[in-house]
A and B are shown apart, each in its own frame.
Chain A
Amino acid sequence: MIKTTAQKIYVGLIFLFLYAPILTLMMLSFNASRTRAKWGGFSLKWYADLFRNREIMQALWNTLLIAFIASFVAVVIGTVACIAINRMGRRSRAVMMGITNIPMLDAEIVTGISLMLLFISFGLKFGLGTILLSHITFCIPYVVLSVMPRIRQVDASVYEAALDLGAPPLKAFFKVVFPDILPGVLSGYLMAFTISLDDFIITHFTKGAGVDTLSTKIYTEVKKGIKPEMYALSTIIFVTVLLLLFLVNKAPKEKRGKIQTVKTG
């Protein structure tokens, strides 16, 4: 009993540590005072102001647009790559996975400056396009790492059976293989989207002047002091995601419970 209580307290403290800043930011979004040092009473003012702040709205739009497109492209390239890697021999597979791992193991600052140097050398105009190319690049590994285990579990004979029964390869893939790897693809997409949304370092090096995502916008505001509207926006995003995850997670959980009772019964 003592042991489990101590364990619970420990887990609780760690989660307090992880979530304390989030609670702080939520509090600040309701703070009537403009400085974060003083509590000036409860207010929804910043939520109202938020939608009138065109700069923040533009940065939000850029952030979401980049996250959507980058994670989608990364999912397509990454999933196709997984199918290819799965068909390779041991050696080529190891090489491919090694390449995949480079941006994961490499420092973000190195990835950032290396892409910056690339875009400069090729004379690309820094802006949304360069950010997008960079984000796709660092999203691909996350997709590969979540799809790969799934695709390795797929019984190859299922695909062959579909071919045997007369399905053309593409149709066979989408009818029998894709549904099996879909959970991996979805979690890869979600992961890529999250990482893209949260990225600052690589965006910092590959964005052009005048183009901002939420991260870079916040970074420029650090010295002047963060606009409280930013807290309001983060709170809205966080709570929305929390609600969505709650709704999505609820349905499959019930199903899982049923399967378990059948198994034990």
Chain B
Amino acid sequence: MKLNTVKHNKPAGRLLSAPFLLWETLFIIVPLAMVFYYGLTDRSGAFTLENVAAILGAEHAKALWLSVCLSFVSTLICFLLAYPLAMILANMNVNQHSFIVLIFILPMWMNFLLRTLAWQTLLEKNGVINNILEFLHIPPLNIINTPAAIILGMVYNFLPFMVLPIYNSLVKVDPNVINAARDLGANELQTFFKITFPLTIPGVISGVTMVFVPALTTFVISKLLGGSKILLIGNVIEEEFTQAGNWHLGSGLSIVLMIFIIFNMVISAVFDKNGEGNML
């Protein structure tokens, strides 16, 4: 009944949504359509699949494969680090949801490029970490300018996007549901795998998409921590736009990326119908 009384006011609702719809159409839908237009045409404006097919070229395919591998590993590491962390945080009964969000958002107030660059200082041959390792008589870590450093940068930058959705779905699990499983004879491990984890899958899926997509498409982290030799698909696209000036090729390669992204969106839409795993 309550809902109906609000809904009968439909014309007003449409009017209020107008600025939003107009903005989203103009600055999201139309631009995306333009990426498709550029990606599927050549300089003369004729239809072509060449730009998309360019992904099969040795160099592009290698960059894409490396991107997929690195982002997959980063996502996996993020998940393995984040789930226990989210569980501990959820069990701490801090009761201050906003505080938990805050400590993960706070680092963003220091510029993302500077924070990533700081890892150079930490990882260098004579950097802070190696000094500590030396002091502990552990062999030094020489990962700067390697794929490992890129993975570290990805995990560092995107870990919060994995922790927050999982944390949010964990605190929503009714403690009595956990109690019920225990009551019915399940031990702690069984309760986790049969009840807790399945109930938090929307959060996990949301976290995976939030980490995988930016990791797959980054060009900054690879540039800052991977030296100049390692090219990810993001670097290729970025160069097409800012240096080579071949927007058609850049757009074509972006369409390939968007296939991954759309796949991701579909998965998150299927698993997270109610928006349960939202970050905020």
Contact, chains A and B (beta carbon distance below 8 A) = yes
Seen from chain A, the residues whose Cβ lies within 8 Å of a Cβ on chain B are: 7, 10-11, 14-15, 17-22, 24-25, 28, 36-37, 77-78, 80-81, 83-89, 96-103, 105-111, 113-118, 121, 133-134, 136-137, 140, 142, 145-146, 155-157, 160, 187, 191, 194-195, 197-198, 200-201, 204-205, 214-215, 218-219, 222, 226, 230-231, 234, 237-238, 241-242, 245, 249
Partner of A198, one of B15, B23, B109: B109
Contact residues in B for A113 (Cβ distance below 8 Å): 35, 237, 241, 247, 250-251, 254
Stretch of B84-92, B143-151, B191-199 with 4 or more beta carbons under 8 angstroms from chain A: B84-92
Any A CB within 8 A of the CB of B56: no
Q: Are B16 and A241 in contact (CB under 8 A)?
A: no
Q: Are B275 and A110 in contact (CB under 8 A)?
A: no
Shortest beta-carbon distance from A18 to chain B in Å? 6
Q: Are B156 and A18 in contact (CB under 8 A)?
A: yes
18 A-B residue pairs with CB within 8 Å: A20-B118, A21-B119, A24-B118, A25-B110, A37-B124, A84-B13, A87-B9, A99-B24, A99-B28, A105-B265, A106-B213, A109-B257, A113-B35, A118-B27, A134-B27, A140-B23, A155-B2, A200-B112
Shortest beta-carbon distance from A155 to chain B in Å? 8
Any A CB within 8 A of the CB of B46: no
Check A25/B118 contact, CB under 8 A, given A87-B13, A99-B24, A113-B237: yes
Partner of A157, one of B2, B13, B102: B2
Q: Are A218 and B121 in contact (CB under 8 A)?
A: no
Contact residues in B for A103 (Cβ distance below 8 Å): 28
- 7 closest Cβ pairs, A-B complex: A114-B31, A81-B20, A84-B17, A21-B118, A87-B13, A107-B217, A84-B16
Contact residues in B for A97 (Cβ distance below 8 Å): 275
Shortest beta-carbon distance from B159 to chain A in Å? 7
Contact residues in B for A205 (Cβ distance below 8 Å): 241-242
Q: Are B14 and A107 in contact (CB under 8 A)?
A: no
Q: Are A87 and B12 in contact (CB under 8 A)?
A: yes
Any A CB within 8 A of the CB of B226: no
Q: Are A25 and B115 in contact (CB under 8 A)?
A: yes
Q: Are A142 and B2 in contact (CB under 8 A)?
A: no
Contact residues in A for B184 (Cβ distance below 8 Å): none
Shortest beta-carbon distance from A77 to chain B in Å? 5
Partner of A226, one of B117, B213, B219, B241: B117
Contact residues in A for B14 (Cβ distance below 8 Å): 84
Contact residues in B for A77 (Cβ distance below 8 Å): 19-20, 23
Which of B28, B217, B264 has the largest count of A CB atoms less than 10 A from its CB?
B28
Contact residues in A for B280 (Cβ distance below 8 Å): 142, 145-146, 187, 191
In the assembled complex, the Cα of A194 lies from the Cα of B279 at a distance in Å of 15
Partner of A17, one of B16, B106, B156: B156
Q: Are B107 and A18 in contact (CB under 8 A)?
A: yes
Q: Which residue of B lies closest to A28 (CB)?
A: B121
Q: Are A81 and B17 in contact (CB under 8 A)?
A: yes
In the assembled complex, the Cα of A118 lies from the Cα of B29 at a distance in Å of 10
Contact residues in B for A114 (Cβ distance below 8 Å): 31-32, 34-35
Partner of B114, one of A87, A108, A231: A231
Q: Are A107 and B115 in contact (CB under 8 A)?
A: no
Contact residues in A for B223 (Cβ distance below 8 Å): 222
Check A191/B105 contact, CB under 8 A, given A81-B19, A237-B110: yes
Q: Are B20 and A145 in contact (CB under 8 A)?
A: no
Shortest beta-carbon distance from A241 to chain B in Å? 5
Contact residues in B for A18 (Cβ distance below 8 Å): 104, 107, 156, 159-160
Q: Which residue of B lies closest to A81 (CB)?
A: B20
Check A21/B116 contact, CB under 8 A, given A107-B213, A109-B219: yes
Question: Which residues of chain B (31-88) have a CB below 8 Å from chain A?
Answer: 31-32, 34-35, 38, 81, 84-85, 88
In the assembled complex, the Cα of A99 lies from the Cα of B34 at a distance in Å of 17
Q: Given contacts A117-B247, A137-B27, list 7 more A-B pairs with CB under 8 A.
A: A25-B115, A103-B28, A106-B213, A107-B214, A109-B257, A136-B23, A238-B109
Check A14/B81 contact, CB under 8 A, given A99-B24, A117-B35: yes
Any A CB within 8 A of the CB of B122: yes
In the assembled complex, the Cα of A231 lies from the Cα of B124 at a distance in Å of 18
